[in-house]
Amino acid sequence: MVEKVEGIVLSETPYKESSKILNVYTKEHGLIGIIAKGAKSLKSPLRALTNKYSYCYFYIYYKENKLSLLTQVDLIDNFNNIRNDIVLIGYMSYLCDLTYQVLKENNESDIFDILINGLKKINDKLEPLIITNIIELKYLDYLGVSLNLDGCVRCSSKDNIITIDGDAGGYICKNCLRDEEIVDAKTIKMIRMYYYVDISSISTIKISDDIKRQINNFLNKYYDRYTGLYLKSKEFLNNLINI
């Protein structure tokens, strides 16, 4: 029985002369492998719709824990604005690679919506660094290294929050401050907003370059220290945007 699933191609591998195996992240079944027979052929209707990062409805004979068979594809979004900009391609590549790593630790269905909504916003030309940082912050929960952003990590007080510290694991209030570096109050506020915002509801973003840099630098250091992830796509992206 053919099943319709919503998904995005994270990678593709040549298979025999004219076919390929797709690594597709689906809303319904998580990460699955799909054989696209004849998809490498110039005349195949599947050729253009099975490329990396294609976001489509896939009609498949689904086989749990085995390769499913593709019969038809309907395009949902090709993210054309992203594909026409090398920097935005860098962001998309990194976010898809990061998502793949997150899925190794956790397969919650919410992850799919976070990724797709984020890519849609970047394609709609919202600030890609902010969207990427929002996704990175949300993914910490699924990686098991979440931050405490609801109060001081040492006394639980919600008052007089004066900084955020990666070593401590979250916010620190004035009374519990030791030798941690004090960060801008707007950075403290925006990190919490990043964590709780519904990406699909974002229409405009106005944050100073200085605050954006502070948040991005904090998340880079936190990921380096606590996730153990090293992604070439992240290094490539950082080189593109000179971070």
Per-residue model confidence as pLDDT tens digits over 3-48: 999 999 999 998 888 999 999 999 999 999 999 998 888 888 888 8
Domain hosting 190: range is 81-145+183-240
Identify whether 170 is part of a domain: no
Identify whether 217 is part of a domain: yes
Which pTM does this prediction carry?
0.93
Per-residue model confidence as pLDDT tens digits over 79-133: 999 999 999 999 999 999 999 999 999 989 999 999 999 999 999 999 999 999 9
Identify whether 202 is part of a domain: yes
Residue that finishes a domain, picked among 78, 98, 113: 78
List of residues 6+ apart from 144 with CB closer than 8 A? 105, 106
| Domains contained in the chain, number | 2
Identify whether 205 is part of a domain: yes
211 and 94 co-located in one domain: yes
39 and 58 co-located in one domain: yes
227 and 117 co-located in one domain: yes
Residue 76, classified by CB atoms within 10 Å of its CB into exposed (0-12), middle (13-18) or buried (19+), is middle
38 and 59 co-located in one domain: yes
Distances (CA, A) of 86 to 81, 82, 124, 194, 212: 10, 8, 15, 25, 21
69 and 98 co-located in one domain: no
Identify whether 57 is part of a domain: yes
